Amino acid sequence: YFVKVAWAWTFWLLLPFITITTYQFAESKFLYGPTKSILAVLRRLSALLVGTVIWYVCTSLFMYIENLTGMCSTSGELSEPRRLYTTKQECHQDNGIWNGFDISGHCFLLSYCALMIVEEVAVLEGLSIDQNSKLHVVINGLFVSLCFLTMIWVFMFLCTAVYFHDFSQKLLGVLIGLSAWYGTYRFWYLKPFSPGLPLPNIPLSSKKHSYSR
């Protein structure tokens, strides 16, 4: 159940992290006023809305494909009339086993969430905060929580890779997760009309990952 709501865990930790770091960066580095800083925060937070849409569309598509390609196997008596099942849920209600092409939603979501967290925490490379401030403690706490969450996602990804799904189902799930990350952070977010990259809008590949403490 923890991994099935992986996006919720990722969303609720990234929400305050993006809000605080973006506002702080816009105000201290770019010298934005309160109004412009808030607009910068809202723009960056729209990345979470994009992630929510990607999560919903992809998982719904996976379920549709599984229902479209599947058949139900039940242990009913031979004399009983054979029932036609159209969905996995109907099959499970009669204690049946649904055999369909089940693209690994776990591989898709865990890879996408982990990459998104890594992209967003990279903003700390250019953020300098007084060590004695409460804000420094809050950001550090969120950073550690996100790192711990990423470790959990990687561990659960390995468990899924070892114990669940066929190879093709896992591979397709990972490729879709990588495509979602690449299409946003490496392509769309570089454009003017997008949520944009984490301030100061430098791609992760060019950062040194040296968090100034």
Instruction: Indicate which residues carry an active-site annotation.
Output: 106, 165
| Helices vs. strands in the chain: H and E counts, helices first | 6, 2
* Burial track 165-183 (b if 16+ CB lie within 10 A, e otherwise): beeebbebbbebbeebbee
| CB within 8 Å of 107: residues ≥ 6 apart | 157, 160, 161, 165, 170, 173, 174, 177
Angle at 202 between CA 196 and CA 207, to 5 degrees: 140
Tell me which H or E stretch contains 105.
Answer: helix 105-121
The reply to whether omega before 200 is within 30° of 0 (cis) is: yes
